[in-house]
Structure 1
């Protein structure tokens, strides 16, 4: 199985909504709806116009993973919408790792030095993944003032791009 990672735009909204809501609601029972995430219907204006981006991982034309970057300050961004379909997770395909690396390369090329993210403490595998990738846990009150908080998130991480790899 070959994984292809490409930039996404508004034409992928429906596929993204299907991927993400299925994982959030059905797999992890996170009480979140599409109304809580209007950004999924406005990928270009929400992510790209301010200087971030959105990527998808495809296998045989099927969207199986996603990651996004919200640029919220001159040199800072927030990782959002990092999801991989259950049956495509793990080291074998390494989709999450590839998605994260695409995002980090984008940050380096665009002068973004620090990235932050929020997650939910039930997502233990996600937390281990971030920690393996040198993300450091930060207290909510120590996040940058302009960090775009999501209501569901209760664990936060930061990564200094220049100290990795």
Structure 2
């Protein structure tokens, strides 16, 4: 199984929506809808046009993971839409790690030095993943003023990359 990570845009919106909503709603019972996430139907507008990016992880042509960078300040971005399909998770394929590394490389190339993200209490594996990658937990009050808050998020992380 060969993993291919590539930038994706609006033409992949339907696949990204299927992947992400299934994980949010069916796997974790997070009360979030497509209407709560208009970015998924307009990837290029929400991410690319503002200096961020959106990537997909593919195995044999199937979208199995996503990660996005929402640039919200000259040198700062928020990680969004970090999801890997259940049957493709784990150290064997290391898809989440590969996605994060692609995003961090993009940050280096584009002078984005500060990364932030929000997640929710129930996503314990995600929290462990970010902590293994040197993200530090921060209080909501310490987030930059321009950080784009998501209503469901209640745990926040920061990483300085230089």
TM-score computed with the length of structure 1 as normaliser = 0.98
**Corresponding position: 1:28 with 2:28:** yes
Q: Give the aligned CA root-mean-square deviation in angstroms.
A: 0.3
Q: Which runs of 5+ in 2 are unaligned?
A: none
Residue 68 of structure 1 aligns with which residue?
68
**Corresponding position: 1:156 with 2:123:** no
Q: 1:95-141: CA deviations, max 9, x gaps? A: 00000000000000000000000001100000000000000000000
SS of the residue 1:49 aligns to = helix
- Once residues 65 and 137 of structure 1 are traced to their aligned partners in structure 2, the CA distance between those partners, rounded to angstroms, is 24
Residue 99 of structure 1 aligns with which residue?
99
- Once residues 121 and 89 of structure 1 are traced to their aligned partners in structure 2, the CA distance between those partners, rounded to angstroms, is 19
- Once residues 31 and 127 of structure 2 are traced to their aligned partners in structure 1, the CA distance between those partners, rounded to angstroms, is 19
Q: 1:71-113: CA deviations, max 9, x gaps? A: 0000000000000000000000000000000000000000000
Q: Which runs of 5+ in 1 are unaligned?
A: none
Give the 4+ runs in structure 1 shifted more than 6 A: none
Residue 7 of structure 2 aligns with which residue?
7
Residue 47 of structure 1 aligns with which residue?
47
- Once residues 158 and 93 of structure 1 are traced to their aligned partners in structure 2, the CA distance between those partners, rounded to angstroms, is 25
- Once residues 46 and 84 of structure 1 are traced to their aligned partners in structure 2, the CA distance between those partners, rounded to angstroms, is 21
**Corresponding position: 1:128 with 2:128:** yes
